[in-house]
């Protein structure tokens, strides 16, 4: 079997005005949809970053993959390395919140973008679900958590009508957001994206969630936007309300000190983003839970390896998410299903995406009882809806956004806004 066609389609979909440590989401999120077709008629799908530098590498790789054997992933990695070496991508704004878009991750994220599609193609040609190529399923359903955000009611100068979620700034509004998200998806744990408003207020929102959902494990993620002192002070206020404390303060040293001072389990998708940082984190005991993300950890098989490393070193495993559609969701779900030591419900932005903006046949995937069901059909079990793909590609062409920049977007609301970390 040889690869005869590679297609990379950049897309843009509506993204709500969600607040975070850097600023606020722009009106559109960017992704790329990848198709790999073999000479015997199978098509494998992938979804990855759609920022300009990531797209440039994906575009440059397309012609280099023609004629490759989709089972030879070592060959794929060598080709990716040589193309990335020629490109030397610039670093990106927004890379802190989306570690995969950082220049140092160019090889692992470009490799991952195509590895998922290669694995989907392999699995389809063998008539097996993709999870069977990752060691086999440990579970049929993968749990995800409700991912709450502080948000405005609508974007400034919005190019489209406001979303149906409304404003969420107060304790009552955050509890209402959680209630709707749980009613619609059955989530059994809750994460609050923080680092955006006054820390005491964000902790008060966790207290309100605790009161409203007493049996639901809770997490807070200030994206490294709290100083060590603030993170310790908030830990005292939080007491034992949290399942884990995600990236409250920046840096491996800061997280190490915070754990020493509070004893709280710390999770990260910011200070452990590759195997070198993993090694240093183990030396410092900086984090106790690693939030994996195949988009920048070097694909599904390296994510399995990461989970094994976590097992060896006694660390917990869960999963990080950026704005994404169904192909990424199913890739995340398949690798999570193949991870014996998946200790916590995974993160996903998926409920924030609009129902009319999915690129797969049948529309948005259902999350039931807080979980995604793993298909028994071949590969990821997804087929592209080419009308929808075309629509979202047109939106990419017309939206004017080419790289994520939450700081620039926030300046439209607050002209003196700057990137400061930690801000509190
Ligand atoms: Mg995080």
Residue-wise pLDDT for 156-192, tens only, equals 999 999 999 999 999 999 999 999 999 999 999 999 9
Q: How remote is the C-alpha of 385 from its chain's centroid?
A: 23
- Report yes or no on whether pTM surpasses 0.85: yes
Host H or E run for residue 278: helix 275-284
Rounded to the nearest whole angstrom, what is the distance from the C-alpha of residue 69 to the centroid of ligand 1?
Answer: 36
**How far is ligand 1, taken at its centre, from the CA of residue 362, in Å?**
30
- Residue 31 Cα, ligand 1 centroid: separation in angstroms? 19
Round to whole Å and give the CA distance between 321 and 146.
Answer: 12
What's the gap in Å between 88 CA and the centre of ligand 1?
A: 27
Is 193 labeled as catalytic in the residue annotation? Answer: yes
Report how far ligand 1's centroid is from the alpha carbon of 320 (Å): 6
Q: What is the pLDDT of residues 198-227, one digit of tens each?
A: 999 999 999 999 999 999 999 999 999 999
Distance 78 CA to ligand 1 centre (A): 30
Catalytically annotated residue among 25, 102, 151, 193:
193
Per residue in 4-59, pLDDT tens? 999 999 999 999 999 999 999 999 999 999 999 999 999 999 999 999 999 999 99
- Residue 350 Cα to ligand 1 middle (Å): 15
**What pLDDT is attached to residue 101?**
59
**Mean pLDDT of all residues in 328-335:** 98
Distance 385 CA to ligand 1 centre (A): 31
Q: How far is the CA of 97 from the centre of ligand 1 (A)?
A: 8
Rounded to the nearest whole angstrom, what is the distance from the C-alpha of residue 277 to the centroid of ligand 1?
A: 16
Is CATH 3.20.20.120 the right assignment for the domain spanning 132-373?
yes
Task: State the catalytic residue, choosing from 25, 294, 320, 334.
Answer: 320
Q: If we measure between CA atoms, which residue out of 266, 268, 269 comes closest to residue 238?
A: 266
Mean pLDDT along residues 245-265: 98
Distance between CA 90 and CA 415 in Å, rounded?
26
Half-sphere exposure of 287 (CA within 13 A, CB side): 29
**CATH classification of 3-128+386-399 is 3.40.309.10, yes or no?**
no
**Residue closest to 391 by CA, chosen among 28, 121, 4:** 28
Spatial distance between the Cα atoms of 71 and 244, rounded to a whole number of angstroms: 39
φ, ψ of residue 79 to 5 degrees: the values are -65, -45
At residue 93, the pLDDT reads: 42
Query: 95: CA distance to ligand 1 center in Å?
Result: 12
Question: What value does the mean pLDDT of the chain take?
Answer: 96
The structural domains of the chain, with segments of one domain joined by +, span 3-128+386-399, 132-373
* Structure confidence at residue 88 as a pLDDT band (50, 70, 90): low
**Omega before 422 within 30 of 0, i.e. cis:** yes
**Mean pLDDT across the stretch 126-154?**
98
Q: Which long-range contacts (CB under 8 A, 24 or more apart) does 386-390 make?
A: 388/357, 388/358, 388/359, 388/360, 389/9, 389/11, 389/33, 389/359
**pLDDT tier at 97 (50, 70, 90 boundaries)?**
low
């Amino acid at each position: 079997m040889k690869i005869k066609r590679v297609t990379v389609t950049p897309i843009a979909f509506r993204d709500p005005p969600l607040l975070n440590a850097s600023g606020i989401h722009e009106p559109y999120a960017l992704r790329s949809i990848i198709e790999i077709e073999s000479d015997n008629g199978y098509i494998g799908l992938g979804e990855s970053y759609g920022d300009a530098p990531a797209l440039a590498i994906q575009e440059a790789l397309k012609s280099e993959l023609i004629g490759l054997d989709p089972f030879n992933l070592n060959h794929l990695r060598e080709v990716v390395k040589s193309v990335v070496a020629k490109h030397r991508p610039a670093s990106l704004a927004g890379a802190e919140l989306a570690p995969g878009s950082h220049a140092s991750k160019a090889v692992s994220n470009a490799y991952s973008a195509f590895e998922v599609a290669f694995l989907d193609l392999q699995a389809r040609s063998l008539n097996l679900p993709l999870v069977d190529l990752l060691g086999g399923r440990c579970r049929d359903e993968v749990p995800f958590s409700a991912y709450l955000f502080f948000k405005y009611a609508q974007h400034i100068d919005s190019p489209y009508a406001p979303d149906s979620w409304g404003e969420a700034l107060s304790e009552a509004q955050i509890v209402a957001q959680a209630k709707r998200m749980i009613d619609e998806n059955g989530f059994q744990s809750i994460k609050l994206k923080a680092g955006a408003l006054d820390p005491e207020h964000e902790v008060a929102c966790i207290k309100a969630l605790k009161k409203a959902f007493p049996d639901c494990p809770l997490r807070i993620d200030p994206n490294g936007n709290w100083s060590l002192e603030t993170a310790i002070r908030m830990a005292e206020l939080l007491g034992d309300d949290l399942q884990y404390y995600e990236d409250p303060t920046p840096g491996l040293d800061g997280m190490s000190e915070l754990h020493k001072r509070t004893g709280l389990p710390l999770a990260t998708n910011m200070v452990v983003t590759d195997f070198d940082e993993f090694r240093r984190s183990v030396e410092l005991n900086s984090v106790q839970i690693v939030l994996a993300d195949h988009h920048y950890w070097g694909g599904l098989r390296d994510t399995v390896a990461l989970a094994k490393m976590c097992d060896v070193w006694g660390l917990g495993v869960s999963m990080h998410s950026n704005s994404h559609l169904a192909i990424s969701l199913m890739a995340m779900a398949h690798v999570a299903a193949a991870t014996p030591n998946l200790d916590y419900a995974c993160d996903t932005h998926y409920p924030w995406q609009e129902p009319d903006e999915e690129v797969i046949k049948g529309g948005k995937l259902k999350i039931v009882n807080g979980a995604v069901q793993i298909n028994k059909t071949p590969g990821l079990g997804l087929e592209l809806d080419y009308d929808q793909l075309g629509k979202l590609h047109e939106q990419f062409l017309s939206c004017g956004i080419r790289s994520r920049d939450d700081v620039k977007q926030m300046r439209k609301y607050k002209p003196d806004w700057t990137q400061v970390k930690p801000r509190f």
